[in-house]
Structure 1
């Protein structure tokens, strides 16, 4: 299962049934979980922690040092969860002193030519389409989808179950359950189709839509909209997820609906 044409450091720790194709290089201080397949011409640098049953396609570079001038060679990691697929020529950089870790969750799909910079936290079931460029310190929550050729500014947060249109410039936070499109990036409705596919009921989706009417369609500023939501709408897990996301936003959230 390990090609004789690959180079694997004696201090790398590979689990059972790992496949390594020809011309791949795995450095020391690397851990690879059981059942993972690593294609040809992959480079995995020190500090990589790769989970079980992952697939890493040719040309990927995992755990290279950050492209950050403040980086001083400190020890840091890239952690990749189980059952995650990393397609051709994806690059994932190690963390810096900020978090010391760049983390990709379970069951994610990073399509070809995606770049994940230092200290990003990508949660579970996330899909990032071809050629998306993710700057440092970005957080992407569960089940989010980022369309191809988008660029995400550093420190941005993208909420769970959101969907970002291809080619977007993401400069502000994207709240959960939404669709984001246009330039500048703005609210394009609730991600109803994605939510139905994941088992959300019609009533729950309607409740989410009502929350966003207050936030993006009623000409209220965010502070006033959040007050009205908490007064007028029943407390639900989804309502509170949205409210807490907006309140904790440091960069501010994307614009409301633009015709």
Structure 2
């Protein structure tokens, strides 16, 4: 059996991201390299765009709910392909889901790729741009119990590559989805602790040199925590799969899989 056909790569989006929209280009490029099973995982109650009415249950969803949903999804994939090797690739909050899932499942996960990763609690995360983005949530009151969305002003301030045109930024923003306020709390002020001794799998960390939320030194700290390989893409912003930096991510991921997972 071709080694690539044994891999099941599951892509986990970050906050406010619709899974297939964010990872669609990445999946297409990976498919063209011969990786047949590359799927974008949609979190529970998180499918509605910001111009729609949010699912009222979304505000009660925590990161652990996303982890449990992912584990059930992996069980279904494993039932159809018992020899599958799972690689989790998570962006931002999705990287936290990947870390927690890898710690929970142990050797049932075979590799982990963390893009602009949200770190566990012991690693410092503060940034002024992140604080400005977070402050918007105060208008919701008890935001940790509600669906929330981020303004266009805050989104373009913290996420996008400076080379993107205003029109490209607006189109990307309009594809944003509602997010759980509880999860926002869990990736900022109430981040979980993760026992790195539970994660003994090949790990790759990719950061953006121009990321305003997860600065390069934070990505480096996450890599050190797991003894991971690290790559910092100089021109990449936090939304590392937008603009031309997506090609660099795909190339880095492909090379790493060839070396470390096979």
Question: Normalising by structure 2, what TM-score?
Answer: 0.23
Relative to total residues, which structure has the larger helix share, 1 or 2? Answer: 2
Higher relative contact order (CA 8 A, sep 6+): 2
Question: Normalising by structure 1, what TM-score?
Answer: 0.23
Relative to total residues, which structure has the larger strand share, 1 or 2? Answer: 1
Task: Please say which structure displays the higher CA radius of gyration.
Answer: 1
